[in-house]
Chain A
Amino acid sequence: MLNLFSKKTSAPKQPIVIVSGLPRSGTSMMMKMLAEGGLQILTDAIRSADDDNPNGYFEFERVKQMTSGDRDWLDEAGGKVVKVISALLEHLPSDRSYKVIFMEREIQEVLASQKKMLDHRGEQNKVKDEEIAAQYRAHLAAVKPWLARQAHMEVLYVDYNKMMAEPGPLCRRLIEFLDRPLNEEKMLAVPNARLYRNRA
């Protein structure tokens, strides 16, 4: 495992910036903010903008293939931003370092947004909302302690609801966390109340 504290590591590589969280928790908005701020986004644009994400998904298809061992793409990801939903974080190899921006949003809002997206995709909502909400909560309760114990990951939790209400302080905290010269003004223009449609 790469240890962020070791003196014996060779020349440090730039950490990979990961935007994570539950699907529909504001990860695409965060990707857009970082892109506007000046960071390079790792995306293949296979999944294009639609009604659910008018600004685009900023996804990279090969992220999904990590479960089957496709991780070579990470060699080119240093310093770039890539979206990895929380369920896939454990597949990131531990021989690299990451700065993880983890989006948090009211579960009911996440579910409402997911429901619409499932409808748009013609998928059935097979599990009751309260059941899936409990499962999401349990999932997050397992992910957070695991993240806290990863030596190769630094984590910043960003509250989507607060970001929508008052983005200034969180944006500054974000820039401080990434320790990169980012365009704050452009970033602040991204959180868009017009796109904040699924409120709890």
Chain B
Amino acid sequence: MKTVILGFDSFDPAIFESMAEKNLLPNLQKMADAGGYSRLEVCSPPQTEVSWTCIATGADPGSHGIFDFVLREPNSYMPYVSILPTKKSAVGETFIPPYTTKTFFEEAADMGYPATALWWPAMFPARPELPVNTLPGLGTPDIRGQLGVGTLLTTEDETKKKTAVAALIPAGNNRFTSTLSGPAVAGKSGPQTLTLPVALDVINAQSARLQVGEVQLDLKLGQWSDIFEIKFKAGFLANVHAITRVLLTDLGAAKRVYFLPLQIHPLHSAFHYASSPGFAKSLWSKVGSYLTLGWPQDTTGLEDGCINDDQFITLCDLIFERRKQIFHHLLAGFKEGVLASIFDDLDRIQHMFHHNRREVAEAWYKKLDQFVGEVAARLGAKTRFIVMSDHGFSTFQFKVHLNRWLAEQGWLALKDGKTEGDLSHVDWSQTKAYALGLNSLYLNVAGREGQGMVNASELESLLGEVQKRLLEWKGPDGRNVVSAARLKHEVYNGPYARLGPDLVVGYAAGYRASAETGLGKIPAAAIEENHDHWGADHCVDKDLVPGVLFANRDLRDFGGISFRDIPFLAIGKHLDQSHIKPPSQVGPQGQKDLEERLKGLGYL
């Protein structure tokens, strides 16, 4: 077995089909012309971390437990990030694997083959006990143990929505000084944030010299630095290592320097970053340094105005180029097994430009097509080659504050006279339903939720009523807000299904849950126009955003192909066979007539 997989996060079938018609994507079109193209049915909800996990396991979230980006602890209603769970132990709080369901990578290893998964979501922390080489993708934290925001050093008195801001203080002779905050460590009087001194020496209007701790960098205005390493001293002989890039964004009257989130150094990580550590080290030394954050394309920096469109696109390019180099390096030594790699820059590009600069997104489709051509040219005839995406993309004109809508329907109440707030302000004794996560709606079930008040006898009718009203809900443009509201038992199977949301909300085109809904907040209005840079998304009804599947084999006999088929296509084995029914069970209504006919002919 020899299988190469390229995963293109958010590669949209409608855009592919439209561009292919104009012959703009010749390499993928070649695969399609040979019968090796299909739209891919994706899981519900079509969120990145959920979808790639469904693909890796060939099973729906009921089998692996990742239902949404944000989940809740039912007793306390406390939200947590599904792909970065932690556990308290004798040595403190540690990260634990988001799921342990068997993937096709593990299955390939069990079959005796080497398996490698690059930048696959929800694979942090690495599981050293598994014989699979990994560099983790989405869900890998920064050195603070969070999903990561950058730091802006500025001479101006300014604040940003999410980005950390620190003052650049004039120190004379064109020198400005500041402090870069790093991770927090346990101190005598509680957690203590480690810092490094920063000095910026302005050389001229186009360049400056930056000193960060012991590191000195010569920077040019508007150009990303190389990846560099810094060390925070955490005690005697104890250092916390980090990597980052920095960008000099302003050398006019105002001076601004922007740091990407401080990221895990793969060679000096306190966490199980990769599997094996030797694998990560080998790539670092043989190919070069690479960013490690799960979301290294800094959309937050762009949304907060710390970097501009071109600087963001350049960053995506740098990430893509280095990842391609790593992939090609591994491909050169690839003899057998599975080599899979996810490239997620297109997803970030589309979030930012799908709606307003389509040419930027389309340029990325061409870039990926060219990459497919490069890889295909290096593969032998007997190598299975699969290119796929986890979902497509859609517009996002309206933000939906689902908890406000639930309040308007009389199913959610706030306490203490509050009119806005979050789940901590909810009067649970008067609340029957609440939303948390980007597609999840829960009933406040007695005996399950900490202060549940919906009894078993009421569950079914309430679910039916919520479902009905969701599907009737019209937005300000007169169109439906929700195009599908799926009941848990309709979409999920497996040991974790009971932990999933009671309703999976599939937003209609143009609508998506607000970030506030994701965190369980209850703002003033139920629907708000979206004017953010983040103007397109995929966390909608799964049927609106199918993925793509290309293969160097004929896919036409499969009928509809779903995420459940990927393990079979990758390693020749199904991990979950629940979707495969014998023909006699799905065949024609007149099966009896057929049997009689075959008996009459003497064949049965």
A 87-113 to B, binary, CB cutoff 8 A, 1 in contact else 0: 111100000000000000000000000
B112 at the interface (CB under 8 A from A): yes
* A197 sits at the interface (CB 8 A): no
The size bracket of the interface on A is 35 or more
- In chain B, positions 532-577 with a C-beta closer than 8 Å to chain A are 557-560, 565, 568, 571-574
Q: What residues of chain A lie closer than 8 Å to B172, measured between beta carbons? A: none
Contacts of B573 in A (CB 8 A): 1, 3, 5-6, 151
A146 adjacent to B581 (CB under 8 Å): yes
Q: Is the CB of B572 within 8 A of A3?
A: yes
- Say whether B601 contacts A132, CB under 8 Å: no
Q: Is the CB of B112 within 8 A of A138?
A: no
The answer to whether A149 touches B594 (Cβ under 8 A) is no
A64-B604, A135-B590 are contacts. A114–B557 as well, Cβ < 8 Å? no
Chain A contact residues: over half helix, strand or loop, or mixed? helix
CA distance A131 to B594 in the complex (A): 10
> CB distance A87 to B594 under 8 Å?
yes
Name the interface residues of B300-352: CB closer than 8 Å to any CB of A: none
Contact with B along A120-141 (1 / 0, CB 8 A): 0101101100011011101101
* Cβ contact of B601, chosen from A6, A121, A126, A131, cutoff 8 A: A121
- Given A24-B601, A149-B558, 13 more pairs with CB closer than 8 A: A5-B111, A85-B598, A87-B595, A123-B600, A126-B593, A131-B590, A138-B587, A139-B594, A141-B559, A142-B588, A144-B557, A144-B559, A145-B557
> Can you list 9 contacts pairing A with B, beta carbon distance less than 8 Å?
A85-B603, A87-B604, A121-B600, A135-B590, A139-B583, A141-B559, A145-B557, A146-B582, A149-B565
- Whether the pair A132, B582 counts as a contact (CB closer than 8 A) is no
B283 proximal to A (CB < 8 A): no
Chain A residues within 8 Å of B589, by CB = 135, 138
Check if B581 sits within 8 Å of A134, measured CB to CB: no
Q: How far is the CA of A123 from the CA of B412 in the complex (A)?
A: 68
Known: A127-B590, A146-B581. A151 touches B568 (CB 8 A): yes
A123 to B597, CA, bound (A): 9
A132 to B590 alpha-carbon distance, docked (Å):
8
A194 at the interface (CB under 8 A from B): no
Contact B593 A127 (CB under 8 A): yes
Total contacting residues, chain B, CB less than 8 A? 37
A13 at the binding interface (Cβ < 8 Å): no
A138 to chain B, nearest CB (A): 4
Most central of A124, A134, A135 by chain B CB within 10 Å = A135
Contact with A along B107-148 (1 / 0, CB 8 A): 000111100000000000000000000000000000000000
A23 contacts B594, CB within 8 Å?
no
Q: Is B596 an interface residue (CB 8 A)?
A: yes
Q: In the complex where A143-B583, A146-B580 touch, is A151 in contact with B598 (Cβ < 8 A)? A: no
Partner of B583, one of A67, A90, A126: A90
B555 (CB) vs chain A CBs: closest residue: A148
Q: Are B596 and A90 in contact, with the CB atoms below 8 A?
A: no
* Chain B, 1-18, CB within 8 A of any chain A CB: 1
Interface of chain A residues 147 through 164 with chain B (CB within 8 A)? 147-149, 151, 155, 157
Are A142 and B583 within 8 A (Cβ)? Answer: yes
Distance A138 CA – B111 CA, assembled complex (angstroms):
36
Do B111 and A136 have beta carbons less than 8 Å apart? no
Question: Is B584 an interface residue when CB atoms closer than 8 A count as contact?
Answer: yes
**In the bound complex, do residue B593 and residue A132 qualify as a contact, i.e. CB atoms below 8 Å apart?**
yes
Q: Does A199 contact B (CB under 8 A)?
A: no
Within 8 Å of chain A (Cβ to Cβ): is B602?
yes
Binding site for B on A (CB under 8 A): 1, 3-8, 23-24, 47, 64, 67, 85-90, 114, 117-118, 121, 123-124, 126-127, 131-132, 134-136, 138-139, 141-149, 151, 155, 157
Task: Tell me the minimal C-beta distance from B206 to chain A in angstroms.
Answer: 57
Interface presence of B586 (CB below 8 A): yes
In whole Å, how far is B111's beta carbon from the nearest beta carbon of chain A? 4
Do B593 and A135 touch (CB < 8 A)? yes
CB distance from B495 to the nearest CB of A (A): 22
> Contact check: which of B596, B597, B602 meets A47 at CB < 8 Å?
B602
A135 touches B594 (CB 8 A): yes
Given A114-B597, A136-B594, A151-B573, does the pair A8, B588 have CB atoms closer than 8 Å? no
Closest Cβ neighbor of A113 among chain B residues: B601
Chain B residues in 8 Å Cβ range of A157 = 557
User: A114 and B583: CB pair below 8 A?
Assistant: no
Which A residues are in CB contact (< 8 Å) with B601?
23-24, 114, 117-118, 121, 123
Residues of A within 8 A of B584 (CB): 87, 90
* In the bound complex, CA of A139 to CA of B587 (Å): 5
Docked CA distance A121–B603 (Å): 12
Bound-complex Cα distance A67 to B598 (A) = 14
Q: How far is the CB of B468 from chain A (nearest CB, A)?
A: 33
- Within 8 Å by CB of B559, from A47, A88, A118, A145, lies A145
Residues of chain B contacted by A146 (CB below 8 angstroms): 580-583
The winner among A88, A138, A144 for most chain B CB atoms within 10 A is A138
Query: How many Å lie between the Cα of A3 and that of B577 in the bound state?
Result: 14
Q: Report chain B residues within 8 Å CB of A64.
A: 603-604
Query: Which residue of chain A has the shortest Cβ distance to B565 in the bound complex?
Result: A149
Known: A6-B111, A7-B111, A87-B584. A126 touches B557 (CB 8 A): no
**Which of B580, B588, B593, B603 touches A23 (beta carbons < 8 Å)?**
B603
Decide: A87 near B598, CB < 8 A? Known: A138-B587, A151-B568. yes
| Chain A residues within 8 Å of B1, by CB | 5, 7
A143–B585 alpha-carbon span in the complex (Å): 10
Bound-state Cα–Cα, A146 to B557, Å? 9
Alpha-carbon gap, A89 to B598, bound state (A): 14
Q: How far is the CB of A52 from chain B (nearest CB, A)?
A: 9
